[in-house]
Structure 1
Amino acid sequence: MELLEIKQKVFQAERDYMSDLKERLQSDLKDAMRQKDTFKRDVVRFVMSAIKQIEVDERKELSDADIEAILVKQIKQRNDSIAQFKEGGREDLVEKNERELEILRSYLPEPMSEDEVRKIVSEIIAQTGAAGMKDMGKVMGAAKAKIGSRAEGRVINAIAKELLNS
């Protein structure tokens, strides 16, 4: 087997293993570069570098769920920054971070409504037989596993508390 064939097989194996979300990010990075959209290019590069850093640190290829967790973390950081910039009267940075948020959110699945979250949490409470706040950990663990990044943890927590206290 020639060296070229071996390289092609290795490259194909890497592409087969790569997550759909990571492929989409790489594709969008190339598109942003072609369109000379420096703002989107920089945001996607930042996310890609965060992904690469974790892959190197943990010595593993990240799944879509792992990448979604990175995106959620980036979104939380931007939201915190926006709050601080508003306090400081830096509307230019508020606008910049809001544009970054828009790009980051485009890679996450559509968020669930509170009614959908409430339905799932009540199903989990029924399945686990949770009876009070002492079972909060059980309910939250199952809910986070089922809902994932489609709802914020604080929303799930508030609904779980409400349902467990009623």
Structure 2
Amino acid sequence: MSLRETINQDVKNAMKAKDTKKRDALRLLTSAFKQIEVDERKELTDEDVIKIIQTQVKRRNDAASQYKEAGRDDLMQIELDEITYYETYLPKQLSDEELTTEVKAIVEKTGASSMKDMGKVMGMASKELAGKADGKRISDAVKKALA
């Protein structure tokens, strides 16, 4: 069963359980899938679905931080709840220690020695760690490794 089929099944299960928060959050996600399919005229693979979910998580994090600044804790909590639903479909994220270890190995592979080589390291790290860590976390780890 593909990731998208799993999500569609979970929407049905949330409907049956009358879990409106989960149902609505997952419907927003399936809507994003359909939008990409229509815009780009292609069938989504599991990798595409993961990228879309990551984008949605990032959007929800941004919105939650803006709601927090505005003092709207009620709306912030809705965004955070949606993030928890979405993260169940993402691959397990690397811990900070694992990420540092992976980045150090990539730095050694590329032979990078200073911040001038950051682009080369980031290119390889982004490919190898795609889905396992957020781009910002990867960037921070690369900066620490090259500093």
- Fold equivalence (TM over 0.5): yes
Residue 134 of structure 1, CA deviation: 2.2
Of structures 1 and 2, the larger Rg is shown by 1
Residue 72 of structure 1, CA deviation: 1.2
Matched, 1:157 2:107: no
Matched, 1:77 2:59: yes
Q: Match of 1:142?
A: 124
Q: Match of 2:89?
A: 107
TM-score by length of structure 2 reads 0.92
C-alpha distance in structure 1 between counterparts of 2:65 and 2:146, whole Å: 32
Matched, 1:46 2:28: yes
Q: Match of 2:100?
A: 118
> Structure 1 stretches of 5 or more lacking a match?
1-18
C-alpha distance in structure 2 between counterparts of 1:137 and 1:124, whole Å: 12
C-alpha distance in structure 1 between counterparts of 2:123 and 2:34, whole Å: 28
What is the number of residues matched between the two proteins?
147
C-alpha distance in structure 1 between counterparts of 2:46 and 2:127, whole Å: 14
- How large is the Cα RMSD of the aligned pairs? 1.4
Q: Match of 1:5?
A: none
CA distances 1:77-118 after superposition (whole Å, capped 9, x unpaired): 111111121122212112211211111111111210111111
The percent identity for this pair of structures is 46
TM-score by length of structure 1 reads 0.82
C-alpha distance in structure 2 between counterparts of 1:130 and 1:38, whole Å: 50
CA distances 1:55-82 after superposition (whole Å, capped 9, x unpaired): 1111111222221111111111111111
> Structure 1: which 4+ aligned runs deviate by more than 4 Å?
none
Query: Does 126-135 or 21-30 show the bigger shift?
Result: 126-135
